[in-house]
Chain A
Amino acid sequence: MRKLALAFLVCFLFAGGAFSADDVIKIGFYNCLTGQNAFGGQLELEGVQLAHKQFPEILGKKIEVVVIDNKSDKVEAANAVTRLIESDKVNVIIGTYASGLAIAGGEVAEVARVPMLGTSCTNPLVTQGKKYIFRTCFIDPLQGAGAAAYAYRDLGYKKAAILTDVVSDYAVGLAKFFKDNFAKLGGEIVSEMRYQSGDTDFTAQLTEIMSKKPDVVFLPAYFAEGAIILKQARELGAEFRFMGGDAMDNPEMVTLGGDAIEGFIYTGFAYAPDMPNMNDVAKKFTEDWYKEYKKDPNGNAALGYDSYILVLDAIRRAGSAEPEKIRDALEATKDVLTVTGTTTFDADHNPQKDIGILEIKGGKKVFVGTVVP
């Protein structure tokens, strides 16, 4: 009998983690920590971890963040979300960079009725028709309209060209929304050229664009390819200005592009470490980020941080960690102060946020202001 009791005790000790699970609120985090999108996913993870360090508790319970890599792969993304829900039994999910992956993960979360808050998945399809899926970032139609408005109204450019990565859902979507809005405002699209992720020589497309003499070239690329394109354009002696989207916002960009990216302007989340009139949340985030990581934060880091804040806010208002109640609270999110501006979800679960305009000046990212499409 005593042996049996001892065995029970041992089992209890080993299973200690499982028994105390009731006092823990689990937030699942899946993102691209390896693979082609790792540069964005890693920054978002660091943002979430920073927020977790600052706010480790809610409703008197400890918060545990369960981190899972999706390898920038759709099958893995769906597997990762299934695992978070079924094995780790998380209450709510944050993730991911790249819309295609968020769509794959979102389908799983929707069926399982666990709320998911996307970090930087800007494609409209991610939350379309979904009850449990939300996102912290703005969507591409808004961003495309903002970029077009800024180029046409504020900068006075009348002739634009577009250079798009045809196999990237992000690039193709954003290019279309820019094009539609620029034409609607009265501008003219003089040239539309295409390339494919993985290409390294863009001189043919650039020469063709140069022959059409546009004022501005819209380049909805990821920063790695974007930097190469900018370099080659400068080598060819291109005079026009380049404009990009939020995927160009990465601290590595200046290192990669060097002098060639001077004057590059892009739309992004309304946050930069040196922006004036920062709100209190952004101030605290910036200070603590530099203390923790000793490198520059960017929009993705801010979105990771914001996602955690929004989830926490929803749990606080719900007064419970039940997935269903968190979902209801998330839907009612209104005027929550976050790093990238105040967040309010609209009927499609997308936040109505300011679009930031950023420019590279003197080898540094400078916050120019915000734009309303």
Chain B
Amino acid sequence: MIADSSGNRIRNNILTLASLALLAAFLWLAPKYLDGYKVRIINLIAINAILGLSLNLIYGMAGMFSLGHAGFMAIGAYVSALLILTPEQKSMMWILDPIAPWLMDLHAPFYASLLMAGILAAFFGWLISLPILRLGGDYLGIATLGFSEILRILIANLTSITNGPIGLKGIPAHTSLWVSYGCLLLFLAAVIRLMKSNFGNVIRAVRDDEIAAKTMGVNTFRTKVLAFTIGCFGAGVGGALMGNIITTIDSKMFTITQTYNILMIVVIGGLGSITGSILGSVIITTMLEWLRFVENPITIGAFRMDGKPGMRMVIFSLLLVAVIIFRREGIMGMREFSWDWVLSRPAAVRNRLASGGTPKGGD
């Protein structure tokens, strides 16, 4: 495929629109026909996809190993929650220290708070990226991890602003399917456009060989700062959505484990693949809940086995180990989903069958 012919492009656009309509129909029907538990999982998939996508932009596409994602999520979650909570709720909640007076009457509607969450997370991302993006590789990972931990401890100790370790509760559950998938689609479209633009090529160039990119006249530092900031924006929005679905947040939610969860989505899906992050989110989020059945008592005929709590994580970890051993580049590798690829599948399979070859070693 050298270049898309215009016929192909129109066909692809129609297919994209059709699948968007299908998604819309699904989102419209889901709350009517599925129970709240399933709707919640579907919702979490979108949030995790936003988080995965934003980390993938930083780590997979720009090649900056960042372990600070939970910190930026925390900024987003707290900013959004503090803006949405009403003064009555705030006056009831601060039982350790009185709330900071300027914070008391600060109030914004949900969408504005979501935007602010992203912007502030991006601002902090930009701010710390200036000193730490001069580091590379593992050192960057350690520096971002440090930042995230500092932030968590600050949140636990700035009691008059964050209510300390007690956290915030009673955040209205604004995150409906429309909101989370709307945010996901917007962010997804932005990332796709970005990666298809010349800036996308520059980002990839910096990742693959920074020195070569520099000699070509690319301002590598600026490129990395920009990619990092956009990634942090996504983390902030994702964190805010997370807070608005659980309706309560505290500093313990945003530990390194949270970052690992997102990292897992990115790595399983495929580093550098947008499609991979979405697939990874679907798989990890559903697997974790679906695997709950192994913890229930199992009855096979007269044989009865008591459920063992924790079994789920054992099996989940085994699956992860298997993926890493047999498919180290993740499910998608660096490839992306495209209609051309999907539509060429039947022909490819037919060719393979016609040539009489075994399926092994094809492609």
* Residues of A contacting B35 in the complex (Cβ-Cβ under 8 angstroms): 86-87
B296-353 residues with Cβ-Cβ distance < 8 A to A are 307, 309-310, 312-313
Q: Does B179 contact A (CB under 8 A)?
A: no
Q: Does A173 contact B (CB under 8 A)?
A: yes
Separation of A112 and B40 alpha carbons in the complex (Å)? 13
Q: Does A107 contact B (CB under 8 A)?
A: yes
Binding site for A on B (CB under 8 A): 35-38, 40-41, 44, 92-93, 95-96, 152-153, 156-157, 164-167, 169-170, 173, 242, 245-253, 289, 292, 295, 307, 309-310, 312-313
Separation of A166 and B165 alpha carbons in the complex (Å)? 7
Chain A, residue nearest B41 (CB): A79
> Does A86 lie within 8 Å of B36, measured CB to CB?
yes
17 contacts between A and B (CB under 8 A): A34-B313, A67-B309, A68-B292, A74-B248, A78-B247, A85-B36, A100-B167, A100-B250, A124-B95, A128-B92, A167-B156, A168-B165, A169-B165, A169-B250, A172-B164, A173-B166, A176-B95
Beyond A82-B36, A87-B37, A104-B248, whether A69 also contacts B156 by CB under 8 A is no
Q: How far is the CB of B213 from chain A (nearest CB, A)?
A: 39
> Does B246 lie within 8 Å of A125, measured CB to CB?
no
* Residues of B contacting A196 in the complex (Cβ-Cβ under 8 angstroms): 153
**Binary per-residue interface labels of chain A (87-118) against chain B in the complex, 1 for a CB within 8 Å, 0 otherwise:** 10000000000001001100100011000000
Binding site for B on A (CB under 8 A): 33-34, 38, 67-69, 71, 74-75, 78-79, 82-83, 85-87, 100, 103-104, 107, 111-112, 123-125, 128-129, 166-169, 171-173, 176, 196
Separation of A168 and B252 alpha carbons in the complex (Å)? 8
Q: How far is the CB of B160 from chain A (nearest CB, A)?
A: 13
Contact of A79 among B156, B166, B289 (CB under 8 A): B289
> Does A172 lie within 8 Å of B313, measured CB to CB?
no
Which 6 pairs of residues, A with B, have the shortest CB-CB distance?
Answer: A33-B309, A86-B37, A86-B35, A34-B310, A69-B309, A86-B36
* Residues of B contacting A176 in the complex (Cβ-Cβ under 8 angstroms): 95-96
Separation of A44 and B248 alpha carbons in the complex (Å)? 24
> Does A167 lie within 8 Å of B246, measured CB to CB?
no
Contact of A107 among B169, B242, B292 (CB under 8 A): B169
> Does B156 lie within 8 Å of A103, measured CB to CB?
no
> Does A69 lie within 8 Å of B37, measured CB to CB?
no
* Residues of A contacting B249 in the complex (Cβ-Cβ under 8 angstroms): 74
> Does B166 lie within 8 Å of A125, measured CB to CB?
yes
**6 extra interface residue pairs, beta carbon distance < 8 Å, beyond A74-B246, A83-B292, A125-B166:** A33-B310, A34-B310, A79-B44, A100-B252, A111-B173, A176-B95
Q: How far is the CB of A135 from chain B (nearest CB, A)?
A: 15
Contact of B169 among A38, A125, A167 (CB under 8 A): A125
Chain A, residue nearest B37 (CB): A86
* Interface of B: prevailing SS: helix
Q: How far is the CB of A116 from chain B (nearest CB, A)?
A: 14
Q: How far is the CB of A53 from chain B (nearest CB, A)?
A: 14
Q: How far is the CB of A218 from chain B (nearest CB, A)?
A: 16
> Does B93 lie within 8 Å of A125, measured CB to CB?
yes
* Residues of A contacting B95 in the complex (Cβ-Cβ under 8 angstroms): 124-125, 173, 176
* Residues of B contacting A86 in the complex (Cβ-Cβ under 8 angstroms): 35-38
Separation of A107 and B152 alpha carbons in the complex (Å)? 24
* Interface of A: prevailing SS: helix
* Residues of A contacting B246 in the complex (Cβ-Cβ under 8 angstroms): 74-75, 78, 104, 107
> Does B307 lie within 8 Å of A129, measured CB to CB?
no
Q: How far is the CB of A42 from chain B (nearest CB, A)?
A: 8
Beyond A67-B307, A125-B93, A125-B166, whether A167 also contacts B289 by CB under 8 A is no
Q: How far is the CB of A335 from chain B (nearest CB, A)?
A: 30
Q: How far is the CB of A74 from chain B (nearest CB, A)?
A: 5
* Residues of B contacting A103 in the complex (Cβ-Cβ under 8 angstroms): 167, 169, 248
Separation of A107 and B169 alpha carbons in the complex (Å)? 8
Q: How far is the CB of A189 from chain B (nearest CB, A)?
A: 15
Separation of A71 and B295 alpha carbons in the complex (Å)? 12
Q: How far is the CB of A50 from chain B (nearest CB, A)?
A: 15
* Residues of B contacting A172 in the complex (Cβ-Cβ under 8 angstroms): 96, 164-166
Q: How far is the CB of B208 from chain A (nearest CB, A)?
A: 36
Separation of A33 and B44 alpha carbons in the complex (Å)? 23
Beyond A87-B37, A166-B156, whether A107 also contacts B166 by CB under 8 A is no
Q: How far is the CB of A83 from chain B (nearest CB, A)?
A: 5
Chain B, residue nearest A172 (CB): B165
Separation of A124 and B96 alpha carbons in the complex (Å)? 12
Contact of B37 among A82, A104, A171 (CB under 8 A): A82
> Does B250 lie within 8 Å of A166, measured CB to CB?
no
* Residues of B contacting A100 in the complex (Cβ-Cβ under 8 angstroms): 167, 248, 250, 252
Chain B, residue nearest A194 (CB): B157
* Residues of A contacting B313 in the complex (Cβ-Cβ under 8 angstroms): 34, 71
* Residues of B contacting A71 in the complex (Cβ-Cβ under 8 angstroms): 313
* Residues of B contacting A83 in the complex (Cβ-Cβ under 8 angstroms): 37, 289, 292
Separation of A107 and B312 alpha carbons in the complex (Å)? 25
Separation of A87 and B295 alpha carbons in the complex (Å)? 16
Q: How far is the CB of B201 from chain A (nearest CB, A)?
A: 37
Q: How far is the CB of A77 from chain B (nearest CB, A)?
A: 9
Beyond A104-B248, A111-B173, whether A79 also contacts B40 by CB under 8 A is yes
Beyond A69-B295, A82-B36, whether A74 also contacts B250 by CB under 8 A is yes
Beyond A34-B313, A166-B157, A167-B252, whether A82 also contacts B40 by CB under 8 A is yes
Separation of A128 and B36 alpha carbons in the complex (Å)? 25
Separation of A106 and B231 alpha carbons in the complex (Å)? 33
Separation of A171 and B295 alpha carbons in the complex (Å)? 32
Q: How far is the CB of A253 from chain B (nearest CB, A)?
A: 23
Chain B, residue nearest A69 (CB): B309
Separation of A196 and B249 alpha carbons in the complex (Å)? 19
Contact of B165 among A34, A79, A167 (CB under 8 A): A167
* Residues of A contacting B295 in the complex (Cβ-Cβ under 8 angstroms): 68-69
Chain B, residue nearest A141 (CB): B95
* Residues of B contacting A34 in the complex (Cβ-Cβ under 8 angstroms): 309-310, 313
Separation of A132 and B170 alpha carbons in the complex (Å)? 14
Separation of A213 and B188 alpha carbons in the complex (Å)? 61
Chain B, residue nearest A45 (CB): B309
Separation of A38 and B253 alpha carbons in the complex (Å)? 17
Q: How far is the CB of A180 from chain B (nearest CB, A)?
A: 10
* Residues of A contacting B312 in the complex (Cβ-Cβ under 8 angstroms): 69
* Residues of A contacting B96 in the complex (Cβ-Cβ under 8 angstroms): 172-173, 176
> Does A167 lie within 8 Å of B251, measured CB to CB?
yes
Q: How far is the CB of A82 from chain B (nearest CB, A)?
A: 5
Separation of A69 and B312 alpha carbons in the complex (Å)? 10
> Does B310 lie within 8 Å of A69, measured CB to CB?
yes
Chain B, residue nearest A68 (CB): B292
